[in-house]
Structure 1
Amino acid sequence: MTSEFLGLPGAVAATGADAGVAAHYGDPFREQRALARGEAVVDLSHRAVISVSGSDRLSWIDSITSQAVKGMRPGDSSETLLLDQHGHLEYAVGLLDDGETLWMLLEASEAPGLLDWLTRMRFMLRVEPADRSAEFAVIGAVGDAGLPAAAPAGVPLIWRDPWSAVAPGGHQYAAADGHPAADWHWTQTIVPRSALAEIAATRPAAGILAAEALRIAAWRPRAATEVDERSIPHELDWLRSAVHLTKGCYRGQETVAKVHNLGHPPRRLVMLHLDGSDAVLPHPGDEVMLKDKCVGKITSSAIHFELGPIALAVVKRSADPASTLTVATDDTTVAAAQEIIVPPDAGATAGVPRIPRLGAVRR
C-alpha cells in the first residue's frame, strides 16, 4: 500500500524497515523540531495493526507474554514481549484495549508470524486474532495530536508509550536520575486508513528520520533495529516497560528471572555520542571497536537537532564503560563516547553470594 504522505511536496521515501513511508520532506532538522514541539505528525502507516477480540483476550495474552495485562481497563496502554523458550526476544508489541478488543501495534514484518502463532495458541479460549492493517493505519506524534482516532467501541484508539516511566512490576537498569524517557511522551493513534489522505493534506508532517532521532535520544529500543536472534530483554533495559517480574509463568520467564536475579546480561545497550567532524554517520551493523577488538555493533543512528550525531549500540558487557570507543564505517573511523544505559553490573539483584568451587583454595 502506497501512503498518501509520500505524495506530499519534497517527500523522500525511506528504505529498509521503514520502506513505504517518507524518510523526510526536505528539511529533517526543521521536521525534528516541529515533531518535538508536538506540532507535526509522523506517518507510520507501514506498521501493522492486529486485533484480538473475545472475552478471554486479556487473560490469554497475560498467560503467554511477559507483561501483566489482565487488569487493563478501556483506554489503557501497555507493552509486552513474546520470548522463545530460552528467553530470546521474538516479538515486541504495543497493547491498547478498548473494552471489547485488544489492539496490537508492531512492525509489519512481524505481523504474519505473530498472527500465525496467536492463531495456533487459541485452543478452546474465546479469542479471535485478526490482521486489521488493511482497515487501519498508525500515526505517530509527541503528545495528543488531536487526530481522528478510530473508536469502534467508543474509546479512541490512542496508544501512549509506557517507556516514559517504569511500569508496575518492571525494573530499570539505567541510572534513575536524568533518564531521557521522562520527556518521552510518544503516542500512536490508530486511524481509519481511509482518513490518511485528509490527515496528510491538513497536518504538518515529519519524516521517520525525525521520529528515529527522538527515539534514540530517549534510549527507546525498537524491535526492527535493536533486536537480533540473541537479544534478551535485560540487554535493552526492556524490563522497564514490557516485563512484569512477579506475574507468574510464561514462555521464557525462567531466563528472565535467572538473569535478573542471579546473573548478568551478556551484552548491554549504550548510546554513543559520535564525532561529527568528518560528517560521517555510521550505519546499523557497523562494528563498534575498543582498541583493535570488535565489542559490538551499531543498531540505530541519527543526527539529533540538539545532540548532533548519536547512535544506539549493543556491546559486550565486558567493554570498559569508561573507554572511548570507535566505529568503523565507510572506510573511516569515528570516535564514540559512551553514555551508559545498561551498566555492566546489571542483574544479580538477589545478591546471592557465590559459593567457592569445590577444591578452590581460600586466601
Structure 2
Amino acid sequence: MSNRNHHVVYPLNHFTVLDIVGKDAAAIVHNVTTNEIKSLKAGESGNPGEGRETFITDVRGKTIGHGYVIRHDFGFRFLGAGDQAETLAAHLDKYTIREDAVPRAMTDSYQSLILPGGIDPKVVEGLVAGHSVVLYSTTILGPGTLWCLVPAEGYEKVCGWLAQKDIELADENHFHQARVAAAFPWYFVDLDEKNLPQELDRDDLAVSFTKGCYLGQETVARLDALGQVQRKLVRWMIADCVPPVGTTLDADGKTVGRLTSVAADGNGSIALGYARRTHFEPHSTAEGRDETSGRTFTATVT
C-alpha cells in the first residue's frame, strides 16, 4: 500500500446510515444525543448541511451509539461504525410518542469510502460532479477527513474511476491502522453500551455541557462536575511488539489497562486501549505480555 495517504482511499464494509425524518426530528434527536444538534444548519437541494460528532445515550448515560449527526433538508442523518441502525432505530421509537419523527435504516442503499485529509481536491470535485456521491466532513483520520457515501448501484463505476486517477483502494485493515494512529474510537471495537461518554475522552468534540436536557444528561453532567471517571481510552505506543487485542497491561502488580485496537507501526505498534486513573497522563508506562509469542513489552501513553 502507498505510504502517501493522499493517494489512498479506504472502503468501509461495516457502517451505519440512519435517517430521522419528520417535523419533530430535531426534538427527538436532541433528546438522545450528547452534542448540540438543534443549531445545525440544513443543506439545500439534497446536499448535507452541518454535522457534529456525538454519542447517543440511554437514561443511564451509557453510550448505545457513536458517530456523526448531519442535518439535511429532509431531517437528520446518522453515520457510524458497524451495524448500529437497528438498536438506534428502536431507541428512537421508544421515546417517540406523539412526535412526528421516523427512523429509516438506509445502510443498504450505499457503499462507503473514507477519504483522508490532503487528497487531491480535483479528485473530490470529480467524485461530486460525476457520481452522485454525498460527502461529509469528519475527523476520523484527522482534520479534513471526508466520509463519502456512494449509491450502491454506482459503486463499481466510482471504484473504476478512482483507479483511472491512480487512487488506491486500501483494505479495511489499513483503514483501522490509520484511524488508530489518529486515535479515533470505533463502535463495537473500542466502545459499546457499557461505556460512559467521558471514558472516550472526546468531550471537546462530541459532548455539549450547555445544550440542556437529554437522556443520560444527569450522569454526564455529574461526571463532569466531579471528575470521577475511573477509566479512559488512551493511545499507547509499544516498541518491538504487536500484541493482540484484549491484552492487559500491568503496573505495580495491578492491571491498569487493556488494549482494544492494535496497529503495526514500524518495528512496534500503536494501540488504543483503556487506562485506569493512575495512567491517564502522557508518558505513563505499563507492562504487557504477548501470549502468542511469549514476549513481554512496555506500553507508553502518548
The alignment's TM-score, normalised by the length of structure 1, stands at 0.71
SS at match of 1:223: coil
- Equivalent runs, 1:92-111 vs 2, <5 Å: 92-111=66-85
Stretch moving more, 141-150 or 226-235: 141-150
* Other-structure match for 2:297: 334
SS at match of 1:300: strand
* Other-structure match for 1:310: 270
Gaps of 5+ in 1: 1-26, 164-180, 340-363
Given that 2:82 and 2:188 are in contact with CA atoms closer than 8 Å, whether structure 1 keeps it comes out as: no
* Other-structure match for 1:121: 95
SS at match of 2:214: coil
Amino acid at match of 2:251: L
1:292 paired to 2:253: yes
* Other-structure match for 2:148: 189
Structure having the larger proportion of residues in strand: 2
* Other-structure match for 1:19: none
Gaps of 5+ in 2: 44-48, 163-167
* Other-structure match for 1:283: 244
Task: Report the number of matched residues.
Answer: 282
Q: 2:229 aligns with which of 252, 262, 265?
A: 265
Q: 2:137 aligns with which of 145, 160, 163?
A: 160
In the alignment, the residues of structure 1 paired with residue 60 and residue 278 of structure 2 have an alpha-carbon distance, to the nearest angstrom, of: 22
In the alignment, the residues of structure 1 paired with residue 68 and residue 146 of structure 2 have an alpha-carbon distance, to the nearest angstrom, of: 11
Give the CA deviation at 1:323: 4.1
* Other-structure match for 1:85: 59
Residues 148 and 125 from structure 1, CA distance in 2 versus in 1: closer, same or farther, beyond 3 angstroms? farther
* Other-structure match for 1:252: 216
Residues 162 and 72 from structure 1, CA distance in 2 versus in 1: closer, same or farther, beyond 3 angstroms? farther
In the alignment, the residues of structure 1 paired with residue 279 and residue 298 of structure 2 have an alpha-carbon distance, to the nearest angstrom, of: 15
Given that 2:259 and 2:271 are in contact with CA atoms closer than 8 Å, whether structure 1 keeps it comes out as: yes
Q: Deviations over 1:158-188 (max 9, x none)?
A: 221157xxxxxxxxxxxxxxxxx8x532211
Amino acid at match of 2:66: A
Q: 1:215 aligns with which of 179, 204, 212?
A: 179
Give the CA deviation at 1:206: 1.5
- Equivalent runs, 1:7-46 vs 2, <5 Å: 27=1, 30=2, 33-34=3-4, 36=5, 38-46=6-14
Considering only CA atoms, is the larger Rg found in Structure 1 or Structure 2?
1
Given that 1:87 and 1:255 are in contact with CA atoms closer than 8 Å, whether structure 2 keeps it comes out as: yes
In the alignment, the residues of structure 1 paired with residue 157 and residue 280 of structure 2 have an alpha-carbon distance, to the nearest angstrom, of: 51
* Other-structure match for 1:325: 286
Amino acid at match of 1:83: T
In the alignment, the residues of structure 1 paired with residue 280 and residue 95 of structure 2 have an alpha-carbon distance, to the nearest angstrom, of: 43
SS at match of 1:140: strand
Percent sequence identity over aligned pairs: 24
Q: 2:50 aligns with which of 76, 81, 84?
A: 76
Amino acid at match of 2:260: T
Q: 1:61 aligns with which of 26, 29, 34?
A: 29
Given that 1:150 and 1:191 are in contact with CA atoms closer than 8 Å, whether structure 2 keeps it comes out as: no
Q: Deviations over 1:312-342 (max 9, x none)?
A: 1101112484542122222322221221xxx
In the alignment, the residues of structure 1 paired with residue 95 and residue 280 of structure 2 have an alpha-carbon distance, to the nearest angstrom, of: 43
SS at match of 1:265: coil
SS at match of 1:226: coil
In the alignment, the residues of structure 1 paired with residue 287 and residue 83 of structure 2 have an alpha-carbon distance, to the nearest angstrom, of: 31
Give the CA deviation at 1:140: 0.7
Amino acid at match of 1:270: V
In the alignment, the residues of structure 2 paired with residue 337 and residue 191 of structure 1 have an alpha-carbon distance, to the nearest angstrom, of: 39
In the alignment, the residues of structure 2 paired with residue 120 and residue 258 of structure 1 have an alpha-carbon distance, to the nearest angstrom, of: 25
In the alignment, the residues of structure 2 paired with residue 254 and residue 46 of structure 1 have an alpha-carbon distance, to the nearest angstrom, of: 32
SS at match of 1:55: coil
SS at match of 1:318: helix
SS at match of 2:83: helix
In the alignment, the residues of structure 2 paired with residue 87 and residue 325 of structure 1 have an alpha-carbon distance, to the nearest angstrom, of: 30
* Other-structure match for 1:24: none
- Equivalent runs, 1:137-176 vs 2, <5 Å: 137-143=111-117, 146=124, 148=127, 157-161=134-138
Given that 1:93 and 1:104 are in contact with CA atoms closer than 8 Å, whether structure 2 keeps it comes out as: yes
In the alignment, the residues of structure 1 paired with residue 249 and residue 59 of structure 2 have an alpha-carbon distance, to the nearest angstrom, of: 30
